[in-house]
């Protein structure tokens, strides 16, 4: 499924301003270190011949040898993601050529997907963390993990619908659409969490399209609580997905869209919750 969100900053997607800001920061740090090294070499050479003097022959203060600086590495941004440097802007017409990224077929490490997904290799770790959250919330609410995660697409080389010059994160294998979860019978000897209807002990399906807004049966309310809790936990974990779209975003009544685009954006319970860009302006439209 297509994330039809508005790319608030095409410039950002063109080369990821965030990524390039980091590149500049990194480059500046490296340059600073290099200049310190250069300064250290020149200073020690002159000091070994006596005091440093300016053009008029006056003594110059001896620079402190930056021995400590020599072992200081450039700052590492813990939020850095390899695809941040991949431009998202593409020609609006003609055959689409998607960036060459390493794709893998993934079945799920912690939980299984109902059908293997084709994804960018670096996205796999994010999905593994996602599966851990799904498992934990499911055990909390249903007393067991789901048998499988039901998705409706991952890699797909295409543009964002309505924005023909912007690449979909699906085109990088960097996004996934989740429709629901299938649960098996409660294992023999296990107890249902208190207050759950007996029906929950039998196999059942949870689907975004059927349960996000609850329903008439007692079990529907439990499924709604599961989906909402899962969404809250994922929103609270920016180390997993940066973009999280759901029912609050047009075209996403029946699935969650999760990806690791360069900029954060959340629209599951409310239309859009985003950060601020380098200029401090609100990201009013979308990730």
Q: Could you list the residues that contact Zn ion (CB under 5 A)? A: 1, 3, 177, 257
**Could you tell me which residues are beta bridge partners of residue 167?**
159
The Cα–Cα gap between 89 and 109 comes to 33
The Cα–Cα gap between 2 and 168 comes to 7
Placement of tokens 């954060």 in the chain: 264
In the complex, what is the shortest distance from the CB of residue 230 to Zn ion, in angstroms, rounded to a whole number?
17
- Name residues whose C-beta falls within 8 Å of residue 207's C-beta, 6 or more positions apart in sequence: 150, 179, 180, 254
User: Is beta strand 148-151 parallel, antiparallel or unpaired with respect to 159-160?
Assistant: unpaired
In the complex, what is the shortest distance from the CB of residue 200 to Zn ion, in angstroms, rounded to a whole number?
29
Q: Is the Cβ of residue 3 or residue 108 nearer to Zn ion in the bound state?
A: 3
Q: Is the Cβ of residue 1 or residue 272 nearer to Zn ion in the bound state?
A: 1
CB-based closest residue to Zn ion: 257
Q: Is the Cβ of residue 84 or residue 177 nearer to Zn ion in the bound state?
A: 177
In the complex, what is the shortest distance from the CB of residue 25 to Zn ion, in angstroms, rounded to a whole number?
31
Q: Is the Cβ of residue 131 or residue 177 nearer to Zn ion in the bound state?
A: 177
**Could you tell me which residues are beta bridge partners of residue 276?**
282
In the complex, what is the shortest distance from the CB of residue 256 to Zn ion, in angstroms, rounded to a whole number?
9
**Could you tell me which residues are beta bridge partners of residue 205?**
182
């Amino acid at each position: 499924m297509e994330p039809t969100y508005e790319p608030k900053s095409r410039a950002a997607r063109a080369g990821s301003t965030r990524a390039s800001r980091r590149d500049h920061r990194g480059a500046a740090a490296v340059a600073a270190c290099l200049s310190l090294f250069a300064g250290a070499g020149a200073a020690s050479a002159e000091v070994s011949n006596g005091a440093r003097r300016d053009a008029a022959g006056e003594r110059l203060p001896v620079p402190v040898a930056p021995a400590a600086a020599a072992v200081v590495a450039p700052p590492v941004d813990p939020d850095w993601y390899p695809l941040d440097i991949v431009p998202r802007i593409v020609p609006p017409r003609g055959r689409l050529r998607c960036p060459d990224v390493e794709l893998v077929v993934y079945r799920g490490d912690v939980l299984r997907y109902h059908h293997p997904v084709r994804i960018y290799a670096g996205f796999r770790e994010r999905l593994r963390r996602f599966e851990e959250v799904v498992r934990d919330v499911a055990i909390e609410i249903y007393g067991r993990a789901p048998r499988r995660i039901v998705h409706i697409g991952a890699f797909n080389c295409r543009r964002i619908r309505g924005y023909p010059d912007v690449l979909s994160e699906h085109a990088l294998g960097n996004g996934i659409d989740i429709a629901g979860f299938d649960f098996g019978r409660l294992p023999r000897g296990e107890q249902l969490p208190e207050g759950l209807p007996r029906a929950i002990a039998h196999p059942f399906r949870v689907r975004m399209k059927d349960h996000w807004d609850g329903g008439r049966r007692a079990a529907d309310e439990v499924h709604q609580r599961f989906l909402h809790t899962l969404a809250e936990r994922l929103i609270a974990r920016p180390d997993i997905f940066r973009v999280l779209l759901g029912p609050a975003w047009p075209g996403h009544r029946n699935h969650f869209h999760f990806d690791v685009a360069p900029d954060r954006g959340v629209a599951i319970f409310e239309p859009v919750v985003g950060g601020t860009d380098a200029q401090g302006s609100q990201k009013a439209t979308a990730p």
